[in-house]
Amino acid sequence: MLGILFIVICAVFGYELVSFLVPDVRRLYVAVSPSGKPLSKIPDVLFKIPAGIITGIAVGSFSGYYVTSLMSLVINGKQRPQGAGASVVALVFCYLIFVLWGRNRKREIKKNPKIPGFDKSVGNTSYYGIAIILFTIISSFLFFYSFRISDGYLINGNTVFSDLAPHTAMTASFGKGSNFPTQYMHYSGDGIQYHFFFYFFCGMLEFLGLPIDYAINIPSILSMVCCFILLGLLAMLLSGKRLTFVLAPVLVLFRSSFNIYSMFVHLREHHYDLKRILGLIVHSFSWYDQSPYDNWGIWSVNVYCNQRHLLFGVSMILILIILFIPHVRRMSISLMKGGYKDFLFSRNAWIPRNSDPLCPVRNLILALILVTVMPFIHGSALIAGLLILAFMAIVSEARLNYLIMATLAVISSFIQTYLFAGSYRKVVMFEVSPGFVSRESTFHNSLDYLIYITGFTLFLTAVFAVGWLIKDLKMRKPIYRFFLVISFLIPLIFAFVFKVSLEMLANHKFVQISLILSDIFVATVLTNLIILPVRLRKGKDLPKLLPLNNDELEEELNKESAKKPLSIPLAAYIPSRILSVIIALVLIFGLTATGITEWITYYNINRYHIDVDTNSELVSWIEENTSPQDVFLTPMWSVNRFFLAGRPAYYGWPYYAWSAGHDTYTRDSVYLWLISGCGGDIDTFVSYCRERGIKYLVFDPEFCDMKNANGKTIYAAEFFASNLKQVAYFPHDNNTIVYQIY
């Protein structure tokens, strides 16, 4: 299919672009990792392929949208510009693939013999292959289980239909409609204030022939798998332990929380035995309700199924972090050597090093590309990423690179919010509002809430931070991992201090991003318990201190292999091994117990779903007889087959538009005035609708459910039947009638 081909072209372009801008991935690995010991077990493709897929789709979505928008100026009406836009992008990408491929193959990278290559043994290759296959299977189940087409109906699971309603409408607006200039499909005529480029890409896939479930699910699966690969890669580089490649994503999928323990204690107090408690868990059809909004499942695995673009944004953050960690590590080395004056006054503190084999200018170009396209791919991810990088910049070399990147991100955000919303103030605010959604905005209550919803995660992250700080100081090694822990927690702190949109709950994405990154350190703690870094003492083993790292990290690998692990006698060796594994298993269970039960709840709730007829007569008629730009006056629908036609509603379900920043309070009054017949004045009704492009009225029996305070139906059925032209009637499609207004 053309849709699959378009994804492949974007992914290959992204791969070649990343390969060109990050010419020596192994040097990057060395500059990120505290030692060279684990590098032989880490292949280059763990960065290049997922970073390439994410970059390719991001640039493809960004460029595709603006090229198609320009095409819409000359291709309009029922002729849609998406075909021309997709063709231009595909042809340009194919040309760039050819150019970049040639340059990448001709370029010779001077390999440093001290940097180990990847050991392509069967064991190493199989380990990553099996892990990635498992990530793919899990993500495919998650997304298709709750959102799929079956027997002609689009299945919307009960845990996802609300969030997916506007996302599905946005996708269809580009797949079946022609949403240029772009507007929010549940709230026409007021621009768009929500990051929609991910769903534009999904819409292009639908336009190119993919069914809407595949058009949304395939990019979602790619986002999750790429995010997990990049997360696992960063965990391995920072910890030196290959097991973290799997453990870190597992901790994301099965989040930590004290919910399950609170429920267990509560039920035991009411004399429930263990068998009955387990029965309640297995048959659970509701999320926990122990803290504010818990019953929405906002912290569970369900959040990734509702917000399909979240992990795409996290993937972009991970790429940026990996690109900039070397500068943090280098500054840490300078500080360990006593170079405190270098912290502010050296050339390297502000400007990249001369003849740097890491090619920081090229890396910066990749970072600039990502932050340029991010604002309307995932604005919250961009803010979170900038917050993380801002702290990293403080303890980093080459601060000018950070400044250039942040400046371009802000400029890109201002320009795009002006184009889409008219003003950045409609999209984002930075208002001090402490406490997030905790019941009281005191520090104590906020801390209690945070500990409750995160379980052991933050505690073990703190253990990692303190433990590695002490160890690195003792071994005279750079303490950059301690700085990274603080950096990764900045978005979480920000969420409890500032409000960035009308809905405070939207800040949960900042908390979620910090927790995902914190799982790197939790996985490291668990791995060190499972693979206890001790060995059996043989003879007179004496521990050796590791020599201080050389300034040129890429040229002088830390000879970690020369450092022997702590040696202990046989009498302590076996018991310590057994005890550490037991502690690790107990901690893993404690960390994942709530997440496991939430997977059960996710499975149970989504056995029930809201079905939308993909073969609706109404949808077919709208596609064949109306212009993609025509606005419809409809009931306040959230999920409805109408939105599969890709046409905008004047006033859909108001919560979506309100949470996206639109003034729903004013429009609510206007909407009620319109559907009541404008006081019986047809001329006023038609004139108002004409000014706002509302060309059709869709009568559906749901209108009859809307009543005023006196219990009278608000919708003026007889008035519209007498004064408007009926252009379609569907007795077998919910007795729906379509009226033409002008």
Q: Considering the chain, what percentage of its residues have pLDDT values greater than 90?
A: 74
Closest among 88, 22, 29 to 55, alpha carbons compared:
22
pLDDT-derived band at 536, boundaries 50, 70, 90 = low
Sequence-distant (≥ 6) Cβ neighbours of residue 319 within 8 angstroms: 51, 54, 55, 230, 366, 370
pLDDT above 70: residue 101:
yes
The Cβ-side half-sphere exposure at 272, using a 13 Å CA radius, reads 16
Q: Which residue has the higher pLDDT, 530 or 575?
A: 530
Better pLDDT: 226 or 709: 226
Of 102-111, 112-121, 440-449, 560-569, least confident by mean pLDDT is 560-569
pLDDT band at 315 (very low <50, low <70, confident <90, very high): very high
Write the CA distances from 736 to 173, 637, 659, 729, integer angstroms.
Answer: 21, 14, 29, 6
Average pLDDT, integer, range 287-298: 88
- Asked if 651 contacts 637 with a C-beta cutoff of 8 angstroms, the reply is no
Residue 536 backbone class (left: φ over 0; alpha: ψ -120 to 50; beta: rest): beta
Residue 500 to residue 226: CA distance in whole angstroms: 28
pLDDT tier at 535 (50, 70, 90 boundaries)?
A: low
The pLDDT value given to residue 110: 67
Whether the Cβ atoms of residue 612 and residue 275 lie closer than 8 Å to each other: no
State the average pLDDT over residues 336-364.
86
CA 300, 303, 305, 310 torsion-angle sign: negative
Q: Quick one: three-class SS letters along 643-711?
A: HHHCCCECCCCHHHHHHCCCCHHHHHHHHHHHHCCHHHCHHHHHHHHHHCCEEEEEECHHHHHCECCCC
Give percent helix, percent strand, percent coil of the chain, each to the nearest 5. Answer: 60, 5, 30
Asked if residue 325 has pLDDT above 60, the reply is yes
Ranked by mean pLDDT, the top range of 78-87, 552-561, 684-693 is 684-693
- For residue 560, give the nearest of 116, 244, 57 by alpha carbon: 116
Task: Answer for the pair 576, 534: CB distance below 8 angstroms, yes or no.
Answer: yes
| Residue ranges in 73-178 assigned as alpha helix (H) | 82-106, 122-146, 161-175
User: What's the pLDDT score for residue 547?
Assistant: 40
pLDDT mean over 514-527: 96
| pLDDT exceeds 90 at position 13 | yes
Give the pair of three-digit tokens for residue 210: 């993919």
Res. 546: pLDDT tops 60:
no
Determine the average pLDDT of the residues in 336-348: 80
Q: Compute the CA torsion angle 429, 431, 437, 440 (nearest 10 deg).
A: -170
pLDDT score for 553: 43
| pLDDT tens string 452-474 | 999 999 999 999 899 889 988 88
Q: Are 357 and 553 in contact (CB under 8 A)?
A: no
pLDDT of residue 562: 41
pLDDT digits (tens, 9 = 90+) for 414-432: 999 999 988 777 788 888 9
Q: What is the pLDDT of residue 718?
A: 93
Q: What is the pLDDT of residue 437?
A: 87
Res 538: pLDDT: 60
Highest averaged pLDDT of the listed ranges 74-78, 566-570, 707-711 = 707-711
Q: What pLDDT, on a 0 to 100 scale, did the predictor assign at position 86?
A: 95
Task: Taking residues 674-690, report their average pLDDT.
Answer: 94
Q: Which residues of the chain are in CATH 3.40.50 domains?
A: 615-740
Residue 707's pLDDT band (cuts 50, 70, 90): confident
pLDDT at 561: 41
For 253, phi and psi rounded to 5 degrees?
A: -70, -30
Q: How many CB atoms lie within 10 A of CB 385?
A: 28
Chain position carrying tokens 């231009």: 88
Q: How confident is the model at residue 475 (pLDDT cuts 50, 70, 90)?
A: confident
Q: What is the pLDDT of residue 429?
A: 82
What per-residue confidence (pLDDT) applies to 306? 94
Assess whether pLDDT exceeds 80 at residue 176.
yes
Beta 566-568 vs 631-633: how paired, if at all? unpaired
CB 316 within 8 A of CB 374: yes
CA angle 234, 235, 236 (to 5 degrees): 90
- Determine which helix (DSSP H) or strand (DSSP E) holds 638, and give its type and residue range: none
Distance CA 299, CA 508 (A): 8
CATH of range 615-740; options 3.30.460, 1.20.120, 3.40.50, 1.10.3470:
3.40.50
- What integer pLDDT is reported at residue 534 of this predicted model? 67
With beta carbons less than 8 A apart as the criterion, state whether 35 and 240 touch.
Answer: yes
Summarize the confidence of residues 114-126 as an average pLDDT: 85
**Residues 519, 521, 525, 531: is their CA dihedral positive or negative?**
positive
How high is the mean pLDDT of the chain?
A: 91
pLDDT of residue 548: 37
Residue 724 to residue 699: CA distance in whole angstroms: 12
pLDDT winner (highest mean) among 72-76, 341-345, 384-388, 713-717: 384-388
Q: Strand 694-699 to strand 631-633: parallel, antiparallel, or no bridges (unpaired)?
A: parallel
When pLDDT is cut at 50, 70 and 90, the band that residue 541 belongs to is very low
pLDDT surpasses 60 at 540: no
Among 198-207, 220-229, 332-341, whose mean pLDDT is lowest? 332-341
Amino acid at 665: Y
CB 587 within 8 A of CB 526: yes
Segment 316-321 shows an average pLDDT of 98
In one letter, which amino acid is 347?
R
**Nearest-10 crossing angle of helices 508-530, 480-495:** 150
Residues 662, 193 contacting (CB under 8 angstroms): yes
